[in-house]
Structure 1
């Protein structure tokens, strides 16, 4: 019998989150019958009060937008990975009471790509310049040997991406969003934009596409992912990322390795197919 523990995902909005499905599937597979994982609607204003009210049974938290940066001042320590992009998506409660922050999105991206045989690329393209794009750059810093071209819509976004590139040691080159069809010729294309943004590019998939990493998981497949796959290109999706980052969270929160990747992915696929949580 395991010691009862609690974990949860926080964010706003949060009702759509698949994290409870994935973590509960892991607990079931690991025999952690006394563990629970919930979701809480928490915004930046409510986060300090929520964190202050947590008691000893808590093992960890998953964080989504808009809390990944807001949580940092509330923690006792932050990993180098999380500090590199100023974003924490995982909080683990240590036995001594400390709250420790990490970022599993970055290693989750790398693991998802490696699962599809992508260990190293000579160059890459990133579509978009939001929070996920900075994590993508951090992942590319470890697997991309050459330049990364970021396709953005504004001068402000261009400055942000250049700044992240300098900080992460990535040779970031900027191109206007109007030139986005050219991005699809890269050996690795990472789409970090909201749903519908890349639909206009679906018909532009090259005859011999490389690998597309589209971070969305609903709706799936995106028009771009479907067009890419139709041309024979390899596609890594948002569910792949979600599962791999959740695997790392489960391992950190429970101390059990390896987390059950296959069971977690199957649970996510059922939920997206309408099988419920």
Structure 2
């Protein structure tokens, strides 16, 4: 465990990265935890530049947060990957061990579970996933812990459908795939997890039923999405991307600093303030 007084660095990497709220969250955690000599930066790094960036890091680095498109690209550069991250081939957290080893993990999965449990969602009879990227695979892993029945994934291509079915088999999830043209049917599920880019689900807002279940929309900017606004307008429970971001960041802070618990309340407040300032 690093001493609180040791000068330590961490950062979020990705492309594009200017929108990331991770610096606000992690810096708020450091302030609340008294880690005055810790710093957290933000670097524009794509898949081509990633190996060189990693190779250039010094011994003062404690860890990295990774966003798209680096969650899979980082894996060959690591010495060890957790079973959680390996199951979905997506790493969003790297911790540098004292002996120099690079350890990869995925805090999106437990972050999703924690965000839902915070709203009282511990079990659902069925679920739907919108999308088929790295976040969708993490959603499947979270649903493996929460969903008792079938998960339906709505995807845009046969290749994506096959990939999602592969994740389902690996994770032990009863998964059925449907073409994106049928995505309006997803809102009938007790829990809907939207993992697509901004604007993708806007057309689905008109299909929200009169008594919707729970929507977990992983976006946080712009917020609310058209789908989230329609959902809450009908009285449905909505879990947003900031909820996910904060919960997964709590786990990152704890892993990188070796200190727990990380300050969830202060980190959420920092995220809300950063969004309000945009």
Q: TM-score, normalised by structure 1?
A: 0.97
Q: Measure how far apart 1:13 and its partner are.
A: 1.2
Aligned to 2:175: 172
Alignment of 1:132-151 (within 5 A): 132-151=135-154
Aligned to 2:256: 253
Which segment drifts farther, 93-102 or 19-28? 93-102
Report if the CA contact (8 A) 2:71-2:134 is conserved.
Answer: no
Report if the CA contact (8 A) 2:122-2:146 is conserved.
Answer: yes
For 2:146 and 2:71, locate their aligned partners in 1 and report how far apart those are by CA, in whole Å.
24
**Of 175, 187, 202, the match for 1:184:** 187
CA RMSD, Structure 1 to Structure 2 (Å): 1.0
What SS class does the counterpart of residue 6 from structure 1 fall into? strand
Matched, 1:126 2:129: yes
For 2:38 and 2:273, locate their aligned partners in 1 and report how far apart those are by CA, in whole Å.
22
Q: Measure how far apart 1:65 and its partner are.
A: 1.1
For 1:165 and 1:207, locate their aligned partners in 2 and report how far apart those are by CA, in whole Å.
30
Q: Measure how far apart 1:78 and its partner are.
A: 0.6
Number of aligned residue pairs:
275
Matched, 1:231 2:231: no
Partner deviation per Cα, 1:131-189 (whole Å, 9 max, x = no partner): 21111101101111111001112211211111111111111111222222221111100
For 1:188 and 1:70, locate their aligned partners in 2 and report how far apart those are by CA, in whole Å.
30
Matched, 1:211 2:214: yes
For 1:157 and 1:67, locate their aligned partners in 2 and report how far apart those are by CA, in whole Å.
19
Q: TM-score, normalised by structure 2?
A: 0.97
Runs of 4+ aligned structure 1 residues displaced above 6 Å come to none
For 2:74 and 2:160, locate their aligned partners in 1 and report how far apart those are by CA, in whole Å.
23
**Of 239, 244, 248, the match for 1:241:** 244
Which segment drifts farther, 170-179 or 77-86? 170-179
Alignment of 1:20-169 (within 5 A): 20-169=23-172
For 2:124 and 2:43, locate their aligned partners in 1 and report how far apart those are by CA, in whole Å.
39
Aligned to 2:201: 198
Residue ranges of structure 1 left out of the alignment (5+ in a row): none
Which segment drifts farther, 59-68 or 176-185? 176-185
Q: Measure how far apart 1:259 and its partner are.
A: 0.4
